[in-house]
Structure 1
């Protein structure tokens, strides 16, 4: 239950990769999303920090599926499990629009890419004034865990060199901050004009350029294109992304 609104949750989850995600219908006929996060994945403090950041950007005009308070006025409610672990329940508005599924979508093109860039620029502009939190990871903490699990020693050495190069970059308010970190088409809907972003579970402190790099990465990841075709597409897409991004922020 959210405030004076009662929601009925669908039995089949929309997703269960890192969190259990359920669609819900309110007695006001609006759609919502219920998320259950297990304590083995995130601590309550980490979830609260994520949702505080999400609420902040939502209240300052970002196009996001914002979090909602419970009847106890909490963004997170703790549910005990039989094995003494916990689930942390959160309720969100449902993002308007639909998922854009690659180049086969009628939306795929420059208007969509520009809107994508604009949405990212908007978040980066807002995060620059968001207070520092100790309960979200840095890119280094996230990537170190991945690198340490690599089995190929040569690949691990290359990754370590790259991380050292990144760590040597300046950390400045205009280029580094708390950000979404995973703005691919599975984490937003598009209505033909603008994006509504959701799933801030991976929000971490990183260089802003990472969010733009992820757009290029996911746009060409599953294509059958040659390396040359991928490079050509990425260059053109980046130009359009920058146009949208710079509408919200200073030039890259």
Structure 2
């Protein structure tokens, strides 16, 4: 979960750390292009020997431990082995997944990981430019099938004994140590809005705690597989950015894929997505009935994400999210 970062035109205090990190990997870099300067800093680098391009990522220091990052790589490698289109990770020269680096000037410690560069356009951009509903629905059918393939792998996958990743369960979403911060404390909320969100939080925690967690419905999930984290290249889709990957319900993954879709097109896109999903693996009507609740969970998590980052100026995007979430809170309360 993130906002778009700056491009390579911005000042780059991380470049020396990125160059230091590259020395740990088995490539001979020819230049270093800053692609995204956000909480995670991403570069594109080309190996001068064969022209192959790679993505170098300096991970934000507080979001995951090294063990959690290594676990993320273990799952991504398993997905790749299962034939699912993901960015192929690259190990360092000595076999480790990440290189530890220090950012000059601040002394900040970061872990740097390398993966093969994936060509293509971000699906969200393609959808914004598409006026043909049939084409847009086709992309959502593809996305549903891709998510089903990922869930198929995860439902039967046996992670290594050292695997560790957070859980997006009742406590992870709505408990005292929730993953994305106390959304109800955001300074952009009125007293009445805060009370509504606290009441909704309690109701959601109880509802989530009642849900079963069989592997067929609860396993490792991407947790951020919306069109902004999927690339289109030719006729295929590739999943990127597993930063939020966690243990969770498959229905949450489906809700996230559609969370940015509003208005009359939402129903058509949901039908297309579910049709694509069901072309690969079954999903019950009971699970689909959970989607409105998980859309609300996602919206509250987004507000919590903003709350964790007070340095971000209040934006029109936040106000849009808040308005939708408040209406969903009211609807959820009426539905109980």
Q: In the comparison of the two structures, how many residue pairs are matched?
A: 241
Matched ranges for 1:17-166 at <5 A:
17-27=38-48, 28-81=50-103, 85-100=108-123, 101=125, 102-105=127-130, 108-132=135-159, 135-140=164-169, 141-144=171-174, 145=178, 146=180, 148-151=182-185, 152-166=194-208
Distance 1:91 1:10 in 2: 13
Over 6 Å off, 4+ runs? none
Structure 2 gap segments, 5+ residues each: 1-21, 186-193, 285-336
Normalising to structure 1: TM-score of the pair?
0.86
Inter-CA distance 195–11: structure 2 relative to 1 (3 Å threshold): closer
Distance 2:25 2:33 in 1: 22
Question: Who is 2:274 aligned against?
Answer: 242
| Aligned-residue CA RMSD (Å) | 2.3
Identify which range, 127-136 or 17-26, moves more after superposition: 127-136
Displacement of 1:86 in angstroms is: 1.9
Question: Who is 1:224 aligned against?
Answer: none
The answer to whether the aligner puts 1:233 opposite 2:265 as a matched pair is yes
Displacement of 1:105 in angstroms is: 3.3
Distance 1:5 1:23 in 2: 13
- Asked which structure has the greater RCO (Cα within 8 Å, sep 6+), the reply is 1
Distance 2:208 2:139 in 1: 30
* Higher CA-based Rg: 2
The structure in which a higher percent of residues are helix is 2
Q: Report Cα offsets for 1:61-119 as digits up to 9, x if no partner.
A: 11111211111112111124566652101011122321131332378512211111111
Inter-CA distance 43–84: structure 2 relative to 1 (3 Å threshold): farther
Inter-CA distance 36–142: structure 2 relative to 1 (3 Å threshold): farther
Normalising to structure 2: TM-score of the pair?
0.66
